[in-house]
Structure 1
């Protein structure tokens, strides 16, 4: 019996419907069987009546078992030899392993903490190794200028620096406005509105200008570095470079990190200037402090030490962002899921590292009295 057919019967309105299959349920009729079963999926209670099935192989049995398990249908009417085949196929169907219970207790908690500490130490060690590779390749480029890729450096300076100017300037401008407005509200209570200039200048020069700039650059650039290098690693372009005798660190790491070293202080300067402009405008509108008075107090009352403190952080932030982005890109595996995961991890790690470094700088400068 090689033909295949079906019909739907219902003995009474309250009884479940029966899908009666007849003929042969074999690999030759598998596509038609799958189509019929798919058409009757999700239509309420249904019983598979196989009393008219004269032949069935493992392909047909697999389709029947899978459909009946998914939709909770009963299988009836099979003769003994076909029922034995159906039971054998059902017993051989793969079943997912039950999830292991989550470990609980002090020992497991300490183990998790230990694994986290070891993982953090390994991560910092790898970052130090990448920093060493960058410095070594930079030194080699200084000894052999012909190996340095100036065109790549210019391209990355444009991508990292020039294209970030609008968002950095807007951020600095808004930060200046917010500081002036909030400072005026608080200082007016004590009749010390004029000191809003010092509040804006010191906050922007020492901390907010370069810190927020570095955070924005970390979000833009760390992800871009990871995505670019990770895509090349997925397409095995880095392996091709090594095969051709090209050093990936010299080609990929040095121009990118050096571009950050050059452009991040410039972006910090732009953010500072924009912050002063925004603060001066809000101070003029809210407190009546003219731009000329703002400029005079800024130049006479604010020490250059505050600017030195702020700009001394820029090279460190640039190296942190660049090394983390390149390291994450080299850790990408041969799938897009890994690329997305490492891109997100690079942004989070870079921002966290920048904030942690800024906190250490604050403690250091407070200790030395600057």
Structure 2
């Protein structure tokens, strides 16, 4: 005969689980503390204000970076032997020589497009020969320096940001500071100097490629031979047009190199931040180049250049 006083384990298990669940429910709020605070949701106007404040802070940090870069660059300018010329030449090879094919091809096609669009209009007025001035001034003053700067911003500016961002994530930047080596002088200044030398040369190469593209299209659409095009180009074009484009490229090089290195050094956290800062550097550099080109156009118009 079974013992009625002994509780059945199968029957008591649900009651034990229910009691344990109730005990845990009472203890969890006390042990867990207050709930995690959720991020505040801002309205449209407040969101615009926060974005404006963040942009102003980033602009202030960029100006501070430019000041530090100028201060660090003053020393090597007084002592040229202290420059790491091998590093500069290496950066020139990467940012300049390796970019010749894409810059030349893009400028050539742009010259073809400018000449084709101009030929379609000039043909109606019997002013075929003026395609030389159209291609010359358009390429030398505007399109060649702008297209070279945009390509370099997407190619070399992103590479600067990715390289410095990867070093920042791996704590190599902090290691250089620990060893007494200034990262701006060792890593940033060679890139800046290399781009200041490479981009004007790329602009001149883009000028040649763009004008050659215009010559090809002028011959095929307007019947203007290469010799006739080159003769008129040499007579009507002024050296100031070339100097304007080269002068723009110097400013564009400063913008691209400084923005790329600035965003790369601001990388924090994981490797995901490297991608964000690289994308941000390309977007900001291209936007700044276009704004600078627009300001140049307004200034040249006021100065009758």
Same topology, TM > 0.5 = yes
**Which 4+ runs in 1 deviate beyond 6 A?**
96-101
Deviations 1:95-119 (A, max 9, x none): x979778444xxx60x333333332
Larger radius of gyration: 1
**1:18-37 alignment runs, 5 A limit:** none
Matches within 5 A, 1:1-370: 79-86=14-21, 102-104=41-43, 109=45, 111-370=46-305
Shift of 1:86: 4.3
Distance verdict in 2 for CA 1:239–1:196, change over 3 Å: same
Structure having the higher helix fraction is: 2
**Displacement of 1:139:** 1.8
Structure 1 unpaired stretches of 5+: 1-51, 56-76
Q: Deviations over 1:16-58 (max 9, x none)?
A: xxxxxxxxxxxxxxxxxxxxxxxxxxxxxxxxxxxx9959xxx
Q: CA 1:154 to 1:353, structure 2 compared with 1: closer, same or farther past 3 Å?
A: same
Query: Compared with structure 1, are the counterparts of its residues 54 and 213 closer, same or farther at alpha carbon in structure 2 (3 Å cutoff)?
Result: farther
Cα distance in structure 2, aligned partners of 1:90 and 1:219? 56
- TM-score normalised per structure 2: 0.89
* Cα distance change on mapping 1:194 and 1:54 into 2, 3 Å: farther
Provide structure 2 residue ranges, at least 5 long, that are not aligned to the other structure: 1-7
Distance 2:10 2:212 in 1: 88
Would the alpha carbon gap of residues 54 and 328 (structure 1) be closer, same or farther in structure 2, given more than 3 Å must change?
farther
1:275 alignment partner, SS class: helix
Per the TM alignment, residue 215 of structure 1 is displaced from its structure 2 partner at its CA by: 0.4
Cα 1:100–1:327 shift into 2, 3 Å: closer
Distance 1:147 1:101, change over 3 A: closer
2-side partners of 1:53 and 1:296: how far apart? Answer: 107
SS of corresponding position for 2:230: helix
User: With structure 1 as the length reference, what TM-score do the two structures score?
Assistant: 0.74
Structure of higher RCO (CA pairs closer than 8 Å, 6+ residues apart):
2
**In 2 relative to 1, CA 223–88 (structure 1 residues): closer, same or farther, beyond 3 Å?**
farther
Deviation of 1:302 after TM superposition, in Å, equals 1.6
* Count, aligned residues: 294
| Separation in 1, partners of 2:69, 2:249 | 17
TM-superposed CA distance for 1:325, in Å, is: 0.7
Q: Deviations over 1:255-275 (max 9, x none)?
A: 000000000000001111000
The range that moved more, 212-221 or 118-127, is 118-127
